[in-house]
Amino acid sequence: MKSFIWLETTDGLIQQVEEEVAMFCPMICREVLQTSMGSSKNYAIKLPQRVNPVVLGLILDYCRFHQVAGRSNKERKTFDEKFVRLEANKLCDLISAADSLQLRPLVDLTSCAIARMISGKTAEEIRETFHITDDLTENVEAEEERVEDRSVDDLLLFINSGHEDSKGVKPAKNKKRNRRRKHHPKDPSPNIENKNHYKETDSLSSSHNSEVEDAPNQSINSMLLGYASPESDYDDELDPALKEQLDREVEDFAQRLNSVWSK
Amino acid sequence: MVYSLPEEVLEHVFSFIVSDKDRNVVSLVCKSWYEMERWCRRRIFVGNCYAVSPSIMIRRFPEVRSVELKGKPHFADFNLVPEGWGGYACSWIEEMSKAYPWLEEIRLKRMVVTDESLELISTSFKNFRVLVLSSCEGFSTDGLSAIAANCRNLRVLDLQESEVMDLSGHWLSHFPETFTSIESLNMSCLGSEVSFSALERLVARSPNLKTLRLNRSVPLGKLSTLLHLAPQLVELGTGAYSSGIRSDVYSSLSKAFLGCKEIKGLSGFWDVDLSYLPAFYSVCSRLTTLNLSYATIKSPDITKVISQCPNLQRLWVLDHIEDSGLNALALSCKNLQELRVFPSDMYAADANVTLTEQGLVSVSQGCTKLQSVLYFCHQMSNSALITIAKNRPNLTCFRLCIIEPRTPDYLTHEPLDIGFGAIVKHCKNLNRLSLSGLLTDRVFEYIGVHAKKLDMLSIAFAGDSDLGLHYVLSGCKSLKKLEIRDCPFGDTALLANVAKLATMRSLWMSSCAVSIGACKILSQKMPMLNVEVIDENGTLDSKLDSCLVEKLYVYRTVAGPRSDMPGYIWTMDRDSSSRI
């Protein structure tokens, strides 16, 4: 006679699932063994909040397939590849639920799929895919575009400054960030003092962002105007005659270039 | 609606995102991702050690396990960067020793490392595994002794091309007898003898040793001993490859190579004695990498070797290979991806070797997977370059070094503009290019228009005017590193493209036409750049704005001007131009 385990999702829906399928989930397995729950409708195992009926169905499909012993690695791989062909929202639901059920292989599979979805995209594209609001900078488009245009290897610094100096609206200096400490097995010191990350601004990062414009995207003239503009207050100790000469040369140059460049 | 993920799940997802580019993008998505990403980041690459300070890096990324830093500009390899320039690893290692107790890997390139720093590394990081010192200097075998003695879990010790003060060959003996974890050991740059018995014992007790690069002083007669102890080797660098006339050496060597079924890469080969070459023929069919750049053997002998290596992917060789050897390469090695041909004698105007552009053309024709080329030669033609470009649009790295500056097309006596123009036009994924020969501003126009994926460009003795530099700076969207020597490029182009410099890692200009006045303006306009002027001769008058600077190094940074410069280097300061 087939055995069933009774499961209850947070919306109150109770269903029965084949025992071997349900027991594939470590969390359910533990509940059954430790508390003897799940044997009848009245004693259904209450599943974690993140497991809604739809995603439970998906997870049970996964368990139903994989709990069969005889399958080859190739079969399992093919199933897995098809299984994660889901949209971003479904993947997120799935990974959250699998995580709360402690179904590690499914968490890994879904993590990998989500990572593939992220890789190669721009920040804006990622936000769109996962419906994430950008709370990093005040001046969303211009700021990001400039920051993302920059190369990245030693550019962590620019990302640092990119969001710290949001257009004159500095994050409140006393806004404490609880430094979330991930419990790392190799972590030697579990007690960390609160550090206010955003409070520490680099002195150099404060003003440059607004001045950086990506050269190739600009017309020559506007760049040159930028260079030769009267607003620069650093020119004091420069020989004015030389500066004027340089300005003129540059203007000449720009004109020559424009005529050459217009092909 | 937000598809939210619990923190530990997000962390797990991020562990699958490995490329630096993706990780940086991830940190720009939103605050919680920024926070999570910085906690999860395990590997950092800093392409210019002065672009950021150790404390900034540490503050942002508290849980790093692997750090890679680069110091001196690339032109240091050509002795253009003066002694004492900088690139000191000291402060980095000191700060990391306090902040990253779990650091496992340090990779440094073109940096100055002291014995004190090596000792600090050896005692600060309990799980230290990988030390790569590439083209570094400033340390001695004493520092290596400390590493050997204290790093219980060391997997990789790679000193490639570093300058090491060889005080004693006994540093190897400092590896304790209980130490068995080494997987890769590269000591090919060391000058003096190492204690062979210590080496032998080390190899004998290291079952995971896959890469072993010996230095020149390890005699050929002892090589077979080592090979018998390590038949699992994948990469081997021999010592001197000669041994007088000893038939027993030959036969034992040959037998030892027969026993090494895993060898895929060979290097070393100093002082080659031809009679010993066939000893390693048994591994040729499996070879994917062969570095013969120290072997002064002639073309027929080189040809005999490479025609037995059908799986060769990477070949480094001297120009002794000549066109005939390259023709053979084109026929035999269909999987070749990278070719480097080094000059045997830079100064002989009429070299004895018959290496011309034809050799490269053959290889470009026969080796369809060829992606990366470094080629030193004496003559080139536009038609050859055009042929190469059309043959190999999949080239990603093309470095041509025609030895005599400003050499024109030897057939037409024209500049090589259209030849290089063809290269950038056809090779759409080209990310690295070195120019040589007679070149006018036109070549730069082609580069600016076509080389959209170019990451690094090296220019010497080329161009007519500022227009050349302007084309490059305004056209090459992806350009990150630009190094220029002896070109008539000056203020106008530089100042017309200041914004571009902030998107690049660095710019080097030496013996060009940049004035100190322009450097001042540049520095004032772009506070996020360090504009460093090098004046070794002491002839620069900083008050005379029209005075030309000898060498200029400009790079973006958030660490401000550096304080470790010698007296002849100044950082142009926003407020004044006094020496710092």
Q: Is B515 helix (H, G, I), strand (E, B) or coil?
A: strand
From CA B496, how far away is CA B511, in angstroms rounded? Answer: 20
Residue among A188, A204, A226 whose CB faces B558 most closely: A204
Q: Is B174 an 8 Å CB contact of chain A?
A: no
Taking residues B33-62, what's their average pLDDT?
93
Residue A245, pLDDT score? 56
Q: Mapped to the 3 state alphabet, what secondary structure does B253-301 carry?
A: HHHHHHCCCCCCEEECCECCCHHHHHHHHHHHHHCCEEEECCCCCCHHH
From CA A99, how far away is CA B529, in angstroms rounded? Answer: 46
Closest residue in A to B495 (Cα) is: A227
Q: What is the DSSP letter of B490?
A: B
Closest residue in B to A109 (Cα) is: B13
Q: Please answer yes or no on whether A250 and B480 come within 8 Å at the CB atom.
A: no
Q: Please answer yes or no on whether A96 and B6 come within 8 Å at the CB atom.
A: yes
pTM as predicted: 0.81
**CB B506 within 8 Å of CB B554:** yes
Q: Which two tokens stand for residue A230?
A: 């009267």
Q: Is B200 an 8 Å CB contact of chain A?
A: no
Q: Please answer yes or no on whether A227 and B12 come within 8 Å at the CB atom.
A: no
Q: Please answer yes or no on whether A234 and B574 come within 8 Å at the CB atom.
A: yes
Burial letters A11-44, b for 16+ CB under 10 A, else e: eeeebebbbebbbbbebbbebbeeeebbeeeeeb
Q: Please answer yes or no on whether B12 and A111 come within 8 Å at the CB atom.
A: yes
Judging contacts by C-beta atoms under 8 Å, the chain B residues touching residue A218 are 499
Q: Is B16 an 8 Å CB contact of chain A?
A: yes
Q: Is the pLDDT of residue B69 over 60?
A: yes
Q: Please answer yes or no on whether A121 and B25 come within 8 Å at the CB atom.
A: yes
Q: Across the A/B interface, how many CB contacts are shorter than 8 Å?
A: 225
Residue B157, pLDDT score? 98
Q: Please answer yes or no on whether A148 and B25 come within 8 Å at the CB atom.
A: yes
pLDDT digits (tens, 9 = 90+) for B316-370: 999 999 999 999 999 999 999 999 999 987 766 555 678 999 999 999 999 999 9
Q: Please answer yes or no on whether B503 and A136 come within 8 Å at the CB atom.
A: no
pLDDT class of B177 with cuts at 50, 70, 90: very high
From CA B509, how far away is CA B526, in angstroms rounded? Answer: 18
Q: Is B376 helix (H, G, I), strand (E, B) or coil?
A: strand
Residue A37, pLDDT score? 87
Q: Please answer yes or no on whether A157 and B558 come within 8 Å at the CB atom.
A: yes
pLDDT digits (tens, 9 = 90+) for B347-362: 665 556 789 999 999 9
Residue type, position A263, single letter? K
Give the minimum alpha-carbon distance from B522 to chain A in angstroms, rounded to a whole number.
Answer: 9
Closest residue in A to B26 (Cα) is: A123
Q: Is the pLDDT of residue B419 over 60?
A: yes
From CA B6, how far away is CA B472, in angstroms rounded? Answer: 47
Partnered with residue B33 across adjacent β-strands are none
Q: Please answer yes or no on whether A257 and B467 come within 8 Å at the CB atom.
A: yes
Q: What's chain A's Rg over C-alpha atoms?
A: 29
Who has greater pLDDT, B57 or A204?
B57
B520-539 residues touching A, CB cutoff 8 A? 520-521, 524-528
Residue type, position B311, single letter? N
Q: Please answer yes or no on whether A127 and B29 come within 8 Å at the CB atom.
A: yes
Give which of B160, B161, B157, B165 is closest to B138, Cα–Cα. Answer: B165
Substitution target in B1, B7, B12 with the highest count of A β-carbons within 10 Å is B12
Residue among B28, B40, B44 whose CB faces A159 most closely: B28
Closest residue in A to B544 (Cα) is: A239
Q: What is the DSSP letter of B321?
A: G
Q: Mapped to the 3 state alphabet, what secondary structure does chain A carry?
A: CCCEEEEECCCCCEEEEEHHHHCCCHHHHHHHHHHCCCCCHHHCEECCCCCCHHHHHHHHHHHHHHCCCCCCHHHHHHHHHHHCCCCHHHHHHHHHHHHHCCCHHHHHHHHHHHHHHHCCCCHHHHHHHHCCCCCCCCCHHHHHHHHHHCCCCCCHHHHHHHHHCCCCCCCCCCCCCCCCCCCCCCCCCCCCCCCCHHHCCCCCHHHHHHHCCCHHHCCHHHHHHHHHCCCCCCHHHCCHHHHHHHHHHHHHHHHHHHHHHCC
Q: Please answer yes or no on whether B492 and A203 come within 8 Å at the CB atom.
A: no
Judging contacts by C-beta atoms under 8 Å, the chain B residues touching residue A226 are 499
Q: Is B541 an 8 Å CB contact of chain A?
A: no
B428-467 residues touching A, CB cutoff 8 A? 466-467
Residue A39, pLDDT score? 86
Tokens 């008050």 correspond to what residue?
Answer: B543
Q: Please answer yes or no on whether A223 and B102 come within 8 Å at the CB atom.
A: no
Q: Please answer yes or no on whether B52 and A156 come within 8 Å at the CB atom.
A: yes
From CA B319, how far away is CA B401, in angstroms rounded? Answer: 12
Residue A192, pLDDT score? 26
pLDDT digits (tens, 9 = 90+) for B204-235: 999 999 999 999 999 999 999 999 999 999 99
Judging contacts by C-beta atoms under 8 Å, the chain B residues touching residue A197 are 35, 59
Q: Please answer yes or no on whether B46 and A154 come within 8 Å at the CB atom.
A: yes
pLDDT digits (tens, 9 = 90+) for A95-150: 999 999 999 999 999 999 999 999 999 999 999 999 988 888 654 443 333 333 33
Q: Is the pLDDT of residue A164 over 70?
A: no
φ, ψ at A87 (rounded to 5°):
-80, 165
Q: Is B37 an 8 Å CB contact of chain A?
A: no
From CA B73, how far away is CA B86, in angstroms rounded? Answer: 10
Give the H or E element holding residue B249. helix B247-258
Give the H or E element holding residue B91. helix B90-99
Closest residue in B to A120 (Cα) is: B22
Judging contacts by C-beta atoms under 8 Å, the chain A residues touching residue B46 are 153-154
Q: Which two tokens stand for residue B344?
A: 């045997």
Q: DSSP assignment of B52-71, as one string? A: S-HHHHHHH-TT--EEEEE-
Angle of helix B466-475 relative to helix B441-450, nearest 10 degrees, comes to: 10
Q: Please answer yes or no on whether B505 and A154 come within 8 Å at the CB atom.
A: yes
Give the minimum alpha-carbon distance from A69 to chain B in angstroms, rounded to a whole number.
Answer: 28
Farthest-apart Cα atoms in chain A, separation: 100
Q: What percent of chain B has pLDDT over 70?
A: 97
Residue among B6, B13, B492 whose CB faces A250 most closely: B492
Q: Please answer yes or no on whether B22 and A134 come within 8 Å at the CB atom.
A: no
Q: Please answer yes or no on whether B13 and A149 come within 8 Å at the CB atom.
A: no
Closest residue in B to A212 (Cα) is: B499
Taking residues B101-109, what's their average pLDDT?
98
Taking residues B63-75, what's their average pLDDT?
96
Q: Is B390 helix (H, G, I), strand (E, B) or coil?
A: helix
pLDDT class of A75 with cuts at 50, 70, 90: very high
Judging contacts by C-beta atoms under 8 Å, the chain A residues touching residue B525 are 211, 227, 232, 234
Give which of B55, B9, B63 is closest to B33, Cα–Cα. Answer: B9
pLDDT class of A255 with cuts at 50, 70, 90: low
Q: Is the pLDDT of residue B422 over 90?
A: yes
From CA A80, how far away is CA A74, in angstroms rounded? Answer: 10
Could you tell me if the ipTM is greater than 0.90?
no
Burial letters B151-168, b for 16+ CB under 10 A, else e: beebbbbbbbebebebeb
Q: What percent of chain B has pLDDT over 90?
A: 88
Taking residues B503-521, what's their average pLDDT?
95
